[in-house]
Chain A
């Protein structure tokens, strides 16, 4: 069986659930709103206008994670996965279709978010704002980063078979652990998925990782989560 019908089916699942469309719009709204707030406070010696413009990604990523989680966790309720796998028995193909159906809209919304964020940041900060070059780099980075976080959440949900479990791990991790650990130490903390990926949103960086290598590290985390999710779906009884 070719891949396209499975992908069309998974895409239709996302389009026909209002809560998923809601979390996608929340990615845009949360990022734009919190970026605008952050940009109004432009004092301080180490002020980074680029990061200030994309500061809202810290909040937008929660919505991206919610999106990836709910898209996957819907399969683990009331025997939905059995029905999905009865229709597409090739589990690897099914999982790939699900991941692609999560990634595509996340990337599109992420790109829109990045561009809107950049426009808002430049408008609020005026001459102090980021330039177009670094701004576009960060906008693309923002889109890739949000997509990777949505996929990370989707993969983890497939392993844990529960949206609640995934959110109760990822959200405290992003809001607390990463902030605390990140401030304490350099080095290893820079390899955490959110820290590494967000380097792309800064004007300058001083670790070993740059914007693209940082995103590559996040992509490694995401690949691991997706591989574990695919393995779990393949190995376990549905």
Chain B
């Protein structure tokens, strides 16, 4: 099993610190979402992992080895960094053949990944004629070429159409289910929530969070319950007896913060409050993320004052 280990990784460009003492580990068998706003250091971290940029300090290893030490790295690690990396005048098939030749991969793999990414019918067209979504698929095909146990994808859903987004979600789940280590960077919250099991969150080059998706949301966002009733006064009275309150949602319904749906259901039934609607409102990754960045901003502000 191959995991990714980032140890005290730091990268400075002049005086700007793009990655700041980053330490985390990406485990196999699950999809790890690599989250953070643009410029948080996600792409830099991926380039450092691939040995493309030189770290100022620290190490990034895959299965305990530096990327450059793999004799045929495409068989160990597949990466999508830039969808624009393929030359526009080359055909998709030739682009993949060039990569396959460099790592002595059989030509059969080229046709297999073209098939897998849905590019087989257009494989002999020049990349110049491709849409952004098709280039993205070609980049993913290149990442899968060596059937690698580790897959790194930088913003893979960029430019994909809705069908493509559903496809990539399934692909990522499938790769993780096969026991591979999958690290996918994104700045899109809802998209990441749809495929990630685990999260590594960056902000201005530093690690903000490294924990399972569900836990990240649950610790940051309190669940609430949406209630609609024909007798608001009775509802309020019943809630007040249990130390709860209901806020007006503005559309004729009420929101009970910090509550579970089964708790409110039982409570309303005991008090004989007629319910028209009762629904749980789970926190979203977006809310959790905004909560995290708000705390982070506060923390930074305090530090600057001190």
Interface residues of A (CB under 8 A from B): 1, 5-6, 8-9, 12-13, 16-19, 74, 77-80, 82-90, 237-238
Task: Report A-chain residues with C-beta under 8 Å of the C-beta of B86.
Answer: 78, 80, 83
Q: Which of A6, A17, A85 touches B87 (beta carbons < 8 Å)?
A: A17
CA–CA, A237 and B12, complex, Å: 12
Count CB-based A-B contacts (< 8 Å): 84
Task: Report B-chain residues with C-beta under 8 Å of the C-beta of A5.
Answer: 101-104
Residue of A nearest to B48 (CB): A237
Task: Report A-chain residues with C-beta under 8 Å of the C-beta of B98.
Answer: 9, 12-13, 16
Task: Contact check, B50 vs A237: say whether CB atoms are below 8 A apart.
Answer: no
Task: Contact check, A18 vs B89: say whether CB atoms are below 8 A apart.
Answer: yes
Given A86-B52, A86-B81, A87-B103; 13 other pairs, CB 8 A cutoff: A5-B101, A8-B101, A8-B102, A12-B97, A13-B98, A16-B91, A16-B98, A17-B87, A18-B89, A83-B81, A83-B85, A85-B51, A86-B67
Residue of A nearest to B74 (CB): A87
Binary CB contact string for chain B from 81 to 123 against chain A (1 if under 8 A, 0 otherwise): 1101111011100100111011110000000000000000000
Task: Contact check, B47 vs A12: say whether CB atoms are below 8 A apart.
Answer: no
Interface residues of B (CB under 8 A from A): 47, 50-54, 67-68, 70-74, 79, 81-82, 84-87, 89-91, 94, 97-99, 101-104, 142
Task: Contact check, A85 vs B91: say whether CB atoms are below 8 A apart.
Answer: no
Residue of A nearest to B78 (CB): A86
Q: Which of A82, A87, A237 touches B82 (beta carbons < 8 Å)?
A: A82
Task: Contact check, B70 vs A86: say whether CB atoms are below 8 A apart.
Answer: no
Task: Contact check, A237 vs B84: say whether CB atoms are below 8 A apart.
Answer: no
Residue of B nearest to A85 (CB): B52
CA–CA, A237 and B104, complex, Å: 26
Task: Report B-chain residues with C-beta under 8 Å of the C-beta of A74.
Answer: 87
CB distance from B143 to the nearest CB of A (A): 10
Task: Report B-chain residues with C-beta under 8 Å of the C-beta of A84.
Answer: 102
CA–CA, A6 and B97, complex, Å: 12
Residue of A nearest to B135 (CB): A78
CB distance from B28 to the nearest CB of A (A): 20
CA–CA, A85 and B67, complex, Å: 11
Task: Report B-chain residues with C-beta under 8 Å of the C-beta of A16.
Answer: 90-91, 94, 97-98
